[in-house]
Structure 1
Amino acid sequence: MYLDPKELHRDMFFRSINFGKQYHVNISITVGHDNRAVIDVSIDNENAQAYACDAGCLDPPTKLSHQPVRFPVKMTSPPTAILYIAEDFEYMTQLKDTLHVKEVEIAPPHAHDVLALHRHGHKLGGLPIVFWIALAFLIVIFHLFLLKIILNEMGFFKHTLPNYTRPRVL
């Protein structure tokens, strides 16, 4: 997967990607509570042989299984893919020596305002305060109107006109 770690501020799910002859790969990228992205990888066939490593492949390849395997999102200099998957273990171990990276570090957490903007549409998160004030005002006005209707029906606002008698004409 060749994605820029700076662009991983949303949760992404890739299900049933054809990989190999007998199995599918499931990949999910999620942003945790610490605002860091992590990659979970699993395969649907327990008998299949597949291996994965994260950016730079400095860590030994991990065998994939039905249970998701978690990898941190790393940034490399020069940029490389954030995830490598192959069926051949020997290829994965040689990949470590063929990738020429100067620096590998865990991607920094995303800023809260960027995540809030993508999740809620506002940099502070949630809806703007003007919306909530207007909604509260409308609710109060509606209940006052409803109370007035109920009190009218109960007879609290009945105004009786005085009964004047008309003078008779003779």
Structure 2
Amino acid sequence: MADIWILTLEKRGCAAMLKSGATGLAQAFTLSLSGASYHDSHLEVSLSVSDLHREIAFGGLPIGVGVGDASARVRIDDENTPYFEVSATGTLYACGGGCLAEPITLGRTPTKLDIKITNPETAILYIATSRKHLEQLRSTIHVSEVMSAPAHESQLLALHRHGSAMGGLPMWFWFFL
């Protein structure tokens, strides 16, 4: 089983990380859980929007050699729509689904980035060391439709936050207490 995980991580662009020991293995595992993979000089996060019904965070993802680490957090706004808060330890650049908007500069302060869905499907977040690289990438991604991520149903969010679609703790918890 471990061999399959190692092979999977190697094929998703993490071969160099795995050679660096336990820290590299932890970073590669984080990449796997976040649906991220390295491609020609950038990182792509390809989580399915339907999986973004809870807030999650992943960080410490190295971008470039000695340039900086990226951190991303999926948040849910007041209208139940998911969005990213992205930050970096060095100067990095990011753009959303399809990379159609101008790349934004990342720093230590988290920056809000709306999640976009494209047709055909593309990654929902791109992070690179070069603004020019993301601008060039934009011209190679061909999409016919771009839309904002849909809002999730309140009942689904309540179920994941509280264990019950009605909110609060489930009845069996209070019964056993």
> Is the TM-score greater than 0.5?
yes
Q: How does 1:47-62 map to 2 (within 5 A)?
A: 48=91, 50-62=92-104
> Equivalent residue for 2:129?
87
For structure 1, the 5+ residue unaligned runs are 139-170
Aligned CA RMSD, in angstroms, stands at 1.9
Displacement of 1:127 in angstroms is: 2.9
**Residue type of the alignment partner of 2:80:** N
Structure 1 19/120 Cα, relative in aligned 2: closer, same or farther at 3 Å? same
CA contact (8 A) 2:163 2:170 kept: no
* d(CA) in 2 for partners of 1:27, 1:127: 29
- The C-alpha deviation readout for 1:87-137, integer Å capped at 9, x for no partner, is 1222211111111111101011000111111111111111346876x69xx
Between Structure 1 and Structure 2, how many residues are aligned? 132
> Equivalent residue for 1:44?
89
Q: How does 1:81-120 map to 2 (within 5 A)?
A: 81-120=123-162
3-state SS of 1:26 partner: strand
- The C-alpha deviation readout for 1:24-73, integer Å capped at 9, x for no partner, is 1111111122101110111113xx3x211000111111111121111011
> Equivalent residue for 2:50?
6
> Equivalent residue for 2:110?
68
Displacement of 1:20 in angstroms is: 1.8
**TM-score after normalising by structure 1:** 0.71
Which has the higher Rg, Structure 1 or Structure 2? Answer: 1
Matched, 1:16 2:60: yes
**Identical aligned residues as a percent:** 39
